[in-house]
Structure 1
């Protein structure tokens, strides 16, 4: 099995989160493989920008997920292990990169996005990240 270290972002704008529809019609979060000499945080920021056109800043880490699949192109099983970051955009402007294999995407209200997201672990991740994001925003107001 091929193991790949990846990083991604749960990107918020107010009470909305950014999700993408991939070539398999799955609603997912922006992420990508961590390349040599790059940190997970750098990868998350660059993949969010590359896939969505969104300039987002990291607010906090939020956790890790993993999943396995069979890669037809590699002719072997692959395990993606993803480090996730809570990220924030100061605008709802975006530009989905269709050249990256995405059909559509955008910022959706949290409740709608959770319903749309394909995989249960991503649904849980977004819910957890949003709760943590709100807590962090409350702390900012208190300080």
Structure 2
């Protein structure tokens, strides 16, 4: 099995969270592979920018998830292990990257986003991150 370390962002703007729709019509969060011993936080910020056009500021750690799938191109199973960061966007303007394989992407009210998200662990991640974000914002106020 191929193990890949990844990083991603749960990006909020106001009371909304950003979701991407991939080529399989799944609603997902922006993320990418950590290459060349990069830092997870840097990869998360870069991938959010590359996939969404959003300049996200990291507020804190969100947690970790992992999933396995069979890669037909590699002809073997793959396990993605993802470190997530709670991020804040200054504005809600986005530019979804079709080159990265995304057909849609936008900010949704949190409860609507949770209903749209394809994978249950991502639903939980957004719910927990939303609560953590409230605490981060209270400390900063």
Q: TM-score range by the shorter chain?
A: over 0.9
Q: Residue 55 of structure 1 aligns with which residue?
A: 55
Residues matched between the structures, number = 141
The answer on 1:120 being equivalent to 2:120 is yes
Q: After the TM superposition, which segments of 4 or more aligned residues of structure 1 sit over 6 Å from their partners?
A: none
Deviations 1:77-120 (CA, angstroms, capped at 9, x unpaired): 00000000000011001100011000101011001000000000
Cα offset, 1:127, TM superposition: 0.2
Cα offset, 1:57, TM superposition: 0.6
Q: Residue 86 of structure 1 aligns with which residue?
A: 86
Cα offset, 1:7, TM superposition: 0.1
The answer on 1:109 being equivalent to 2:106 is no
Alignment of 1:1-143 (within 5 A): 1-141=1-141
Distance 1:115 1:95 in 2: 23
Structure 1: which 5+ residue stretches go unaligned?
none
Distance 2:36 2:4 in 1: 12
Cα offset, 1:123, TM superposition: 0.1
Cα offset, 1:122, TM superposition: 0.1
TM-score by length of 1: 0.97
Cα offset, 1:130, TM superposition: 0.3
**Matched residue of 1:98: which SS?**
coil
Deviations 1:13-54 (CA, angstroms, capped at 9, x unpaired): 010000000011110000000010310000000000000000
Structure 2: which 5+ residue stretches go unaligned?
none
**Matched residue of 1:25: which SS?**
coil
